[in-house]
Structure 1
């Protein structure tokens, strides 16, 4: 019914809307408008997963997670995935597979994350953004999967990605080569 932009940031915008409910009543909804993101499951020929250890300010701690980043305005998600993998880890990939898209915060954001499998990796030079500090590590895929089950990897983006990667590698899920 009505929409008000209550905060406009360099990355996120917050809206407050008055909406009509199915029963005819009105309610207020606050939500974050997000530009979208990608997440990359970079897998070496030795079945090691490229991961990052990074301090996340909102949670006040370090996390081990899969590489990811926001989509720049007008940038196709596949291009974002290639750019983010190189910038954050220094890897390029010869083969890419789209695994799917998930909506991580449907109660308060329109964010969506597109997931990609990157294989046939070639190590190059990292190009971290200014103010970005992270450590790149590789772990055997089985170790990363175990960490997701025991809390060592606990962000939802990485857990979804690992779940879809396991399904893809077992043949239960089809990806789309790009």
Structure 2
């Protein structure tokens, strides 16, 4: 949250260049004026945003995915998530990703907030949604997408995090939000799934 006067901290953009543009990534290199009047360069990734869904099964367990992540060179345990398409509303993206990746639809949805997971080098915002009243259907994975569905309790995920086996930042934040909601500290406003 911004303070009333942050001018002593704010950097001013002088110019911006695209360093790389790929299918997914847009890498920028900006020159900025620092608060002390000196200049510096900032390199970062522009990102269209994403959505993560915390799917709650009727028995209290959580629907998760195991997926190989190339930059990490290993299989990671995560909540379902995906990139926003151009002009797509976050809730619509969450519904789409849950259906495509898991085959499940949810009767109720709650928006928890937005996570900025890499503020030093990316402007990506991940919208966090909770989904419950799940009904199973068929997965609709993208071509070249391979993942395995698993379920875990919050206690099991907590133990995996403590042992350093669950390290995905968005999933850890989802777990934290789940625990705080179940404790009554962070409320969620549940709404029926839009048709």
- Report the TM-score when normalising by structure 2: 0.89
RMSD, matched Cα: 0.9
Q: Counterparts of 2:93 and 2:133 in 1: how far apart (Å)?
A: 18
1:90 aligns with 2:91: no
- The alignment covers a number of residue pairs equal to 178
Query: Structure 1 residue 177: deviation in Å?
Result: 2.9
Q: Counterparts of 1:176 and 1:33 in 2: how far apart (Å)?
A: 30
List 4+ stretches of structure 1 deviating above 6 A. none
User: Which deviates further from its counterpart, 140-149 or 156-165?
Assistant: 140-149
Query: Structure 1 residue 90: deviation in Å?
Result: 0.8
Higher relative contact order (CA 8 A, sep 6+): 1
Segments of 5+ residues of structure 2 without an aligned counterpart are 1-13
1:58 aligns with 2:71: yes
Query: Structure 1 residue 88: deviation in Å?
Result: 0.5
Which protein shows a greater Rg? 2
Partner residue of 1:43?
56
Partner residue of 2:3?
none
Q: Is the 8 A contact 2:111 2:188 kept in 1?
A: yes
- Report the TM-score when normalising by structure 1: 0.97
1:144 aligns with 2:173: no
Partner residue of 2:4?
none
